[in-house]
Copies of this chain bind each other. A is one copy, B any other.
Amino acid sequence: MCTFVDMSPKSSASLKGGTNPKISEATVSRLPAYFRALSQLADAQQIRVSSEELAALTGVSSAMLRKDLSHLGSYGTRGVGYDVEFLRYQISREMGLNHDWSVVIVGVGNLGRALAHYGGFGSRGFRVVALVDADQTLIGTKVKCGAEGKTVELLVHALSDLEEVIKETNARLGVVATPEQSAQAVCDRLVKAGIRSVLNFAPVYLTVPEGVDVRKVDLASELQILAFHEQRKAV
């Protein structure tokens, strides 16, 4: 856990040091990639990084990278570059990754189980704290959660206990990994239980009240987009 004291002269004075009023959606969607690359550089003991280098690592142009970062504040040094650890910390702070986020996964099938097993979430600020399913034969069973160092066994809870489980574990993020038929109903219950951020893997558009965010990951769509371009190449 980082414990930086913010010694930048600007950030204490300027508005940008705090919670910035407007960071564009396009920028937000790229911050995680920067964060990840910086974590990698930090692991490799690299102290400084230029916009050119970080851009190459993340597949964006250096100008875009600089503009993205400038929205967070003026954390680079002209003629030098960015301090890896410091920038990493600033991004994590801006994105709320200082503390861990608790995640509840609904639907412990192929995908839900893969997500639960996955060890990579921990290092990026997330902890799976609860599993919920509707299948009687699954409820009550234990599922290994997380990778090597930090494996935990989590009990699969019944769908009927959803609200209670969310309250007890204080989960803020909900993952929908159920068949498409039940996705909307599951989402509704998550929202009713207080969840306002949902990651949806079911290939359906989820309707939610204002104030609730849904992000959809549709793997088949990704393949279809690739197929579209692939077809074009043949011509």
Instruction: Point out residues on A near B: beta carbons under 8 Å.
Output: 19, 28-29, 31-33, 35-37, 57-59, 94-97, 101, 103, 110-111, 113-115, 117-118, 120-121, 124-126, 172-173, 196-199, 203-205, 211, 213, 215, 217-233, 235
Given A125-B227, A230-B172, residue A120 in contact with residue B203 (CB < 8 A)? yes
A225 contacts across to B, CB distance below 8 A: 28-29, 32, 215
A220 contacts across to B, CB distance below 8 A: 32, 36, 120-121, 124, 126
With most chain B CB atoms within 10 A of its CB, the pick from A57, A215, A219 is A219
Given A19-B235, A199-B223, A220-B124, residue A173 in contact with residue B230 (CB < 8 A)? yes
Q: Can you offer 19 A-B residue contacts whose CB atoms are under 8 A?
A: A29-B225, A31-B228, A36-B218, A37-B205, A57-B205, A59-B205, A94-B228, A95-B228, A101-B227, A103-B223, A110-B113, A110-B117, A115-B219, A118-B219, A199-B222, A213-B229, A215-B222, A215-B226, A217-B219
With beta carbons under 8 angstroms apart, the residue of B121, B219, B233 that contacts A223 is: B121
Copies of this chain present in the complex amount to: 2
The 3 closest A-B pairs by CB, nearest first: A96-B231, A32-B221, A110-B114
A221 contacts across to B, CB distance below 8 A: 29, 32-33, 36
A114 contacts across to B, CB distance below 8 A: 110-111, 113-114
Nearest opposing residue in chain B for A235, CB measure: B19
A35 contacts across to B, CB distance below 8 A: 224
